[in-house]
Amino acid sequence: MIQLTNLNKTFGQKIAVSNMNMSLTEGKVMGLIGQNGAGKTTTFRMLLNFIKPTSGSITWNDQPITQSDKRNIGFLPEERGLYQKRTVEEQILYFAELHGMSRSDARVALKDWMKRLDVVGKITDKVQSLSKGNAQKVQMIASLIFEPKLLILDEPFSGLDPVNTSLMMNEILRLRDNGAMIIFSSHDMNNVTKISDDLTMLKRGKIVLQGPVQSIREKFGRTRVYVESPISGNELASIDGVNSVVPRGVGYDLILSDEAAGHRVFDLVTKDGYIPAFSQQPPTLDDIFRQEVAIHD
């Protein structure tokens, strides 16, 4: 388990991370969300020992992270980088070797990864000849090929189409199922919701929300309703406890002041029997993110 305890990082007068406490456990995915400059990349850099914390500690199984531990860390930086003039094989084998993998094992694994991630190109192709999407997959392979115990992914899905995003997600989940600790940052709340077990939301270096994704959402109550019925928007808006009604397609999105108002909405829209849709959910992560950003501004 990785434990971040009372972690602080300042750059001159600027506070980048303030009193952060976080645990990464085997077989779990931690989603790190926050606006630009919230402290996500600084947190990753401290985990990787690129920069030293101003105070606090980072431990792996209660011990400081050593140089030999780093061989088990896979890292995908936000700004992708590969040797453009070298072949896929040359650089992946080099990165794999640095992580303690033998060249022969890496060569076999590389062919398997190329197939699994559906990379268009040969291992003997130079990276500069690959498309951006394929180069990104190669970058991902470089971070994952040695089956890391700790995986740090900074915006792993940026620039990927939905099909490739799905492929990447599957690999991240496979590593999680194999017992890896995974922490990743993303601005896409849908992706965070899909693969995160736990979530940490940062605002100007401070944690504003933390915990399992579903329980964070539930904490905000089931205050979001989508309904499709013959009842008009004005009638829905007049129900006690309904704060807003916004048309969406053939139905309406309702925001409630409390969960109980959902019963009153349900009773009204079903007074004549069957309706095609009624869904009462907690707010989405996107909603929560916007709400929290607004609150703490």
Partner 1 sequence: MTNQLFIVIKDTFLSHFKSRGYWMLVLSPLIFIACAGAIFFGITKMQGNTTPNIAVIGNQEIRRILVKSEKELDIHVSKLTNRQKANRALQNEKLDGILTVNDDSATITTQPKSNQIPKEEITAILGNLSRSKKATSYGLTAEQTADLVQNFNLKTVVKQATKSNRTGNSETANQLLASAIGIITMVIVMWYTSMIANAIANEKSSRIMEILLAATSARVQYFGKIIGIFGLVLTHLIIYVVTSFAGFNFFKDNSFVKILSTNLSGVTLSFVIYAVIFILVAVALYLVLTSMIASLINDNAQVQQAIQPISMIAMIGYFFSFIMTQMPNNLLIRILSYVPFISQTMMPVRLVTDTEGWPAAIIALLLAIVTLFLLLWFGQGMYAKNVLSYSDESIMKQLTASFRKNK
Quick one: which of 5, 35, 77, 264 contacts partner 1 (CB under 8 A)?
77
Q: In the complex, what is the shortest distance from the CB of residue 209 to partner 1, in angstroms, rounded to a whole number?
A: 28
If the CB atoms of residues 13 and 68 are measured against partner 1, the closer one turns out to be 68
Residues in contact with 24: Cβ distance below 8 Å, sequence separation at least 6, in sequence order: 1, 2, 3, 30, 150, 181, 182, 183
Asked whether position 152 contacts partner 1 by CB under 8 A, the answer is yes
Sheet holding 14-24, edge to edge: 14-24, 2-11, 55-60, 63-64
Binders of partner 1: how many residues, by CB under 8 A?
A: 27
Quick one: which of 70, 116, 126, 222 contacts partner 1 (CB under 8 A)?
70
Q: Which region among 2-10, 13-21, 42-50, 289-297 touches partner 1 (by CB under 8 A)?
A: 42-50
Nearest to 126 by CA among 86, 165, 166: 86
Quick one: which of 61, 63, 79, 250 contacts partner 1 (CB under 8 A)?
79
CA distance 211 to 234: 38
Quick one: which of 1, 98, 120, 260 contacts partner 1 (CB under 8 A)?
98
CA distance 134 to 114: 10
Asked whether position 142 contacts partner 1 by CB under 8 A, the answer is yes
CA distance 149 to 126: 29
What is the contact surface with partner 1 in residues (CB under 8 A)? 45, 48, 50-51, 67, 70-71, 73-75, 77, 79-84, 86, 90, 94-95, 97-99, 142-143, 152
